[in-house]
Structures are given as C-alpha cells and as structure tokens.
Chain A
C-alpha cells in the first residue's frame, strides 16, 4: 500500500508464507498418496490394476472440471469433448503405420506415417485439446448465466465433429489399434501433474480472481476482476488437463468410439465432482475415490447376490445424501489444509506507524456530468452530475426511487447509461468496463453487502490487491495491513460469510481500499447501524480517506449522518439534481424539504 510498507511490519512471518506452505503441504500429501497407489497398484493383478488406472484417469478429468467448474461455479458439460479430442489425437499419433493403413486408410499420408512414442503422442493430445479449449473458450467466456448451457452445446458439437471427421476417427465406428499403454504408474504420473496444476491454480492470481467471480460476478468486477478473461484462462487450462485424461483414456481403452465421450461419461465425472465438492482439489480426489468405491463395492455385491442395478441405486443415494446433507459436496469450498490453517490464531501486527498525511490540495478526483439513463420509457436519471474532490466527502441523498443506486451503477459501469462523461482524475473512464474503472481507482461498497462469501476475509481483499497489480505474495501482505487498518485483522482467516454485518462492511471497505482508489464510493455504508455505530464508522471513514488520500462519494438516507459527514451535498429527485453545494445550505432549501416531505427526516433505507 501507498506509504504502508515503510510504516508497518508484520510479525508472524508464518502467515505471510502460509498460502505457499499450504499449497506445498497439500500437493506433496496428495502426490505421495497417488504415487503410493501407483506403486502398490502396479503389483496387483489385472482387474484391480484396471480399476486403479481407470480411477486415476477419471481423477485427471475430474480435476480438470474442478479447475474450471469448481473455481468459476459454472458447471461444464463440455469437458468430455476435450477428453475425446485428446484420446483420438493420442491414438492417431501413437499407432503404427501398419495399423493405420488398415483401420484409417483415408488418413492424410503425413499422419499415416507418424508413429510417436506414447509420451509425445500424449502431449499432442493435450495440445490439440488445449487448442479446442481456446476456440470454445472464446465463446464460453462471453456468456454469463447461459455459459453452463453453452457447454452442453460444445459437447454436442465436438461429438458431431468426432462422428463427422471419418477420415481421422472412423466416424461412429469403433476406433481401434491404440496400444494399451496406460498402466497404473502412467495414469498416476499424469494424475499427479493434474493435481499439482489444479492446486496451484487455486491460489494463483487468476485462480483467486475466478473464485471471486464464482461468488459474485458484479462485486468481482468492482474489485477489478476481469471476469471474462479469468474464466477464459481457467477454461483453457482445464481443457488442457482434460486432454491429459483423454491421452490416458486412449491408452486405457485401446478401442473406443465417439459415444464413449458423451453424456454418460460427463455425468459420471460430474457426479464425482459434486459428491466430493467442486470447490476444492481435495473434493475432486475424495469424489473420485468415494464414487469409484461405491460403484465397485456395490457392483461386486450386486454380482454376488444377482441383484444388478444396486450400483445405480447406490449412486443415486449418495448424490441425494450429498445434496441433502452437504449441498456443496463433502469437502465444501475449502481444502482441508485451509480449514486446519484457518482454525489457528489470527494474525497480529506489532508496529503500526501512521503514514504521513498525504492529503494534497483539493483537486477534483471524480466528475460525472450529463448522466442520463432511461429504462424503456422511464427516465431514471436526467442530465445528472456529481463531483468528488480529493480528501473531501461528497454526499448524495434523495428519496426512494430518486435514482441514487442507478447513478452508482452507472458510475461503476454496472449499468450502461444513455449518455455520460466520467472523469476519474485526468482520465475519462465512461467507456471502460467495470473492472477497468476499478483498476483505474474507483473503489466501491454495495448497499447490500456483496463479499465473496466463500473466500476468507483475507482473500476477499487479496483479490482486489491482485487487481491492483500485486503478486499473490505481496497481496497477502498488503491485504493483512488493510484489514488491520479497518479493524478486522483478527477475522482474516474466517470465511467472509461468517462475519457480523458491521465487520462485513469493514471488509468491503478494505477490499475497496485495496484497489488504491482515488475515489471511494460508499453506498449506504451505515445502513442498519445505530447512531453510535454510524458515528464511529464516520470517524473511521475520515481516517481512511486521509490515509488513502482519496475522495469519497457517500450515498445515504440518514440526513444527520450526511450533514455531519459531508463537505458537499447533491440531492437527487426523480432522476434530476435538484440541489448541489454546501450541506447546510442545501438541506435548508425548500425544494429539498419538499422532496423529502412525507418521508420525514429518517426515510426508510430500502431504496
């Protein structure tokens, strides 16, 4: 933070490295586990070996799903398509020319003569799956609510291509001749790589941003998260990992056709992810292990007593139980090592010198002019304007429905106005996206608090620090300092959703501050607080503003608060600015009284 590095020191160094140590602990633990399975499995007889190799192969695919669906919250039905593409590619690249001449006679000559070693062929599979991921990702990232449905389309399209590309795939006929190279150690090795990728992605800059967008797209954008790009990156990475599964699958099956890469496999993998918990790598592992264990045991039981169908009944039961008892899956949104770490002591800071007062001379940091917004016939804002100066609090009041929230949404870019000019300091931002405005220095809080409820308090702020250009490591430090500044440092490792209302509000402010804003836009920050709390909050605002050297736009109903807090005041009524200037003067104007008439001095705050 500006000026903070010099003045502050964090003591328990362990907390600074915690994210990394958690990451290392987790990957080492799982990697050793899988490696052991690989070693032990290698000595088993054929049937358990096939079972293990199959489970590990599925694990790779479920981890791929975890990377995208788990982190972004968008359920993907399309990943099995990448698995298929990679399986065929691996097959074509690894088969001997003799076999290809017999089974794939129409294959282009170049491909017919290629016969690569398995690892190279597998990499080819991953590369092709990644390319398909890039192409499909361009589409998926543009969609928000319909993205999940679109992934179904992607599966259907890829299936259609596999069926149609007869020269390469033999169409709907069985593709055969791939050597069965996927032994337990091969599947285990790829699974370990997939696991490391998935776990590292979780705590990466992009991973944290994608997870923020999972909880709340709008507040993620307002925290500077480039949602589309982050989701695109997650999609492509997960396509590559799904390609890893395809490469193993080809060598596991030896013979397959497009129907093997369709809805049945998709549903199996999604079941595993949902049962284990999509929000964590551990969930993917547990999901695969549990579902495979249930399938195997019930199948064997069913076979021995002649009661077939027990498996499907059992699967249905665990899905229902999971959805009923643990809707987020067995592991929920958190890794076990995170839960363990977060149960420990909260971090503390020793020395905290106040940074020097940076408040510079009054300068306009935000100017909004000519703001008009029409919702079909209704004019919500009519040529409205508002200005914020550095180091000053600019207030905005108005009765319910006067357009305050619309104005905030237009300024932050959540809503697109019909016309407006917005200057943030010297730069024009009204053509920018929400995330760009956030990164340019427009920090905000929401009227009804919008934190990333399933991220820790710390990560809520880290997300914004990353948007401001910090590395994850330095973001951790900055975020702790900011949490300290707003007085919620002791909650750093709790999940945001668990905090009290007031503390959540403080975290939201810390998150806004993490953007190093030149303007803080606070939408009814005192809503739901009693006068004493509002007063305390106000004092804190002034302090914060001073340190951040920002201007503040404060929207509230509470005339008392506004009167004592603001340096200037704007009154909105029916979308029009009816008064602007010194709060005392403005509030004494008869038209302002008229606007509030019937509402009294304390209007309800359910704007």
Chain B
C-alpha cells in the first residue's frame, strides 16, 4: 500500500467531506465553465437566458449543488490553510466562526439569487 501524505489530519469527517466535495466540484465546476463560457458566451448573458436555464430543474439542482459544495470546500480549505500556518487557541476559534458565518451568508445569498433567477420567491 502506498504511503499517505496529507497536509492536514486525515480520517476526520471534515477531511472526508473536503474530498467528497472535491469530487463533486470536478464535475460541477467544469460544467459551469463549459456551459457559460463555451456553449453560452459570458458576454451574451441576459437575465432572460439565465432564467430559462434556471427554470429547468436539473440545471437548478446542479447549480445549487455547485453552490453548496464550492462554499463548503472553499471555506473549509481556507480553514485548513490557516491551521497549517499554525493558528491555535482563541484565534482558531474566532477564525472558525467567522468562516462558518461567511459560508452560511454566502449560501443563503446564493439561494436567494438562484430563486430570483428561477422565478421563485426572494
């Protein structure tokens, strides 16, 4: 068996979720780039076109999955990076809660935007 190397503690729930979200993001991030830069060009984006895409359940679910996984993976990644820098004690706790609040705000705002684009309640 190959020797394992990881920059942060392996085997924890956060460690596992970081990898699960990474696997999901490989698909959703590339889909997002491909669909909104190559199939549809960013310069030609209009609300009407966006609303049309978001009105399709499969697309809406994919975008929301992208939002949730990207928010978790990004915020947890920042947490891990700063832990690697040696953050401990109270600064570590403050950082954790700042990131939790930031991540929750990001997701809530993302859902509000998605709901507006899909024609639902704000």
A and B part of one assembly: no
Query: Which A residues contact B (CB, under 8 angstroms)?
Result: none
